[in-house]
Amino acid sequence: MKLSEAKRDYYRKLAKEKGYRSRASFKLIQINKKYRFIQPNHYVIDFGAAPGGWLEVASDLVSSKGKIIGIDITPIEPIAENVEIIVCDINNKKIDKEIIKNLGRKADVILSDLSPNISGIWSIDYNKQIDLTLSVINRLPGILNHGGSCLLKIFDGPKLRMVKDNLKNKFTEVRLVKPKASRSSSSELYILCKYYKPVFN
């Protein structure tokens, strides 16, 4: 068995033991343990939330006084009292108003683990994933508080620098992270951005 496959099996088994819906839960756990960008009482939006692994982790981190909105085109089974689910496409233009209506205000943290349905053709899958990430970035002014944070999945490739430079104009701190729970052979990375500084024209 390859090392990456062994790691995947390890976290899949661990997720089952801990009662998490997805091995991806450990990616968020590991990143937040190091950078602590999700805190008690925070309001959080999670794009690409199905099956709910990140929602479970975030629910515990924000405590009962925090609140989370999970968004996905796939229905998600209920998580906890502080989590609400919106079944919707990320490209729906009305989603921002629906988010704010349900959340009650702008978020402190934006999470995005968005990934396209993989076709197996790298150039197509790569560009689709970048487009999904840019969809989240483009709506930040309407949904993220000044000083807030975001964690965005991104595939490593030729557009990575463009996306990172875009985010450097919006956040004080921008860094690439790859948690241990991610397969080492995967092109999957995460961009962690802290201290949002929106610029309005």
Q: Percent helix, strand and coil across the chain, each rounded to 5?
A: 40, 25, 35
159 catalytic? Reply is no
Q: Is position 31 within any domain?
A: yes
pLDDT at 145: 96
pLDDT at 2: 52
* Token pair in block for residue 150: 């975001």
List pLDDT tens digits, range 88-123: 998 888 899 999 999 999 999 999 999 888 888 999
Q: Is position 25 within any domain?
A: yes
Instruction: Assess whether pLDDT exceeds 70 at residue 77.
Output: yes
Q: How many domains does the chain have?
A: 1
Q: Is position 144 within any domain?
A: yes
Catalytic residue among 7, 27, 153, 159: 153
Q: Provide the residue range defining the domain that includes 34.
A: 3-196
Q: Is position 201 within any domain?
A: no
pLDDT at 92: 87
Instruction: Assess whether pLDDT exceeds 50 at residue 125.
Output: yes
Residue 30, domain CATH? 3.40.50.150
Longest dimension (CA), the chain: 54
Instruction: Assess whether pLDDT exceeds 60 at residue 30.
Output: yes
List pLDDT tens digits, range 131-146: 999 999 999 999 999 9
Q: Return phi, psi of residue 38, to 5°.
A: -105, 125
- Cα radius of gyration (the chain): 16
* Token pair in block for residue 81: 């009292």
Q: Pick the residue with more confidence: 42 or 4?
A: 42
List pLDDT tens digits, range 167-177: 999 999 999 99
Please tell me the distance from the alpha carbon of residue 157 to that of residue 188, in angstroms, as a whole number.
10
Q: Is position 102 within any domain?
A: yes
Q: Is position 189 within any domain?
A: yes
Q: Is position 153 within any domain?
A: yes
Q: Is position 64 within any domain?
A: yes
Instruction: Assess whether pLDDT exceeds 70 at residue 7.
Output: no
Confidence band for 198, pLDDT divided at 50, 70 and 90: confident
